Amino acid sequence: MTAGNNGAGTPEDDDPFAHLYRSEGGENGAQGAAGNGSAARRPGVPRASYNQVRAVGERQYGQRQVPAQQPYGQQNAHYAAPETLPGGDNARQGPPPGHGHGGAPRRNHKGLLIGAVAVVAVVCIGIGVAMLTNKNGDKKDEAGADPTPTAGESVKPSEKPSGKPSQGPLPKEAAASLSLSPEASTDKSVPGAKAADGAYVSLNKVGASATWSVDVPKSGDYTLLIDYGVPGKDAKTTLGVNGGKSDKINMSNFAHASEGAWDKGWTTTFRWITLNKGTNTIKISCEQGDQCEVNLDRVFLKAGHVKR
């Protein structure tokens, strides 16, 4: 080959690394080459000065050393995974406290259950107090609702109890089966008597009496009830218990029968008495000063103070 058919230069002049020389120094590089005594580039004459080949990463740019590339597989000093740093092990742990699956906050079910039990307990206590208060109030009303009759007479019978209920069946007797005085007599001419066979005792004379000998299971207060009949007007007799002081028995016309209507005058009266355990005597009589037009039907006892 000759310069005539290959251009102005030879293969040595066709330097493929010429751009590196220019980038490293540009015009200064060319001047540096001229300063070293090298002549200007001439065709056909190879360069007398070249930059030395350096390892990748060791070339200097502007007086700054570029660090060499780290070997493959070795950790780079300028990079570290978060888990390799101090405290990094906790950086990627599970969800924060107080959260369950899906990040939703946990509910304190135990606290809710305790609250519900407390509410139920308060409601139950309130109901119990109300029931006890109401019960005590009823007892007070019953205790103060029954006036005691006067010593001399009974009052109109009532069905409402005013004391302890009966502990069991107590004696009941037909007046015709009682112990009668000679002045007393039995009769059946007036209809409506409740005793067996419709028999009753007439107390129409002073000295007429009927005495009941009765046994009770224990000492205490009892109520004596008397079924009787009057001819449409009031009557009054005498009561004696165990030979003690006598009291009066009110035998008014509670049936509101017209005068002379014996069959319409059947009714009931009562007296509160105190008996001893065992046998007691109860005497109903017509004494001086009594109004004795009365027929005795039946006598019976109830425990405590009650009204029929």
Pick from 221, 214, 232: which is nearest to 303 by CA?
221
Tens-place pLDDT, residues 107-148: 567 778 888 888 888 888 888 887 877 666 555 555 444 444
pLDDT score for 251 = 96
pLDDT score for 131 = 81
pLDDT score for 283 = 97
DSSP 39-66: PPP-TT---S--PPP--TT--EETTEEP
The set of residues, in sequence order, having a beta carbon less than 8 Å from that of 105 and lying 6+ positions away, is 98, 99
pLDDT score for 196 = 87
Contact call for residues 98 and 106 (beta carbons, < 8 A): yes
pLDDT score for 88 = 52
Model's pTM, two decimal places?
A: 0.48
pLDDT score for 73 = 56
Low-confidence residues in the chain, pLDDT < 70: 1-108, 134-168, 308
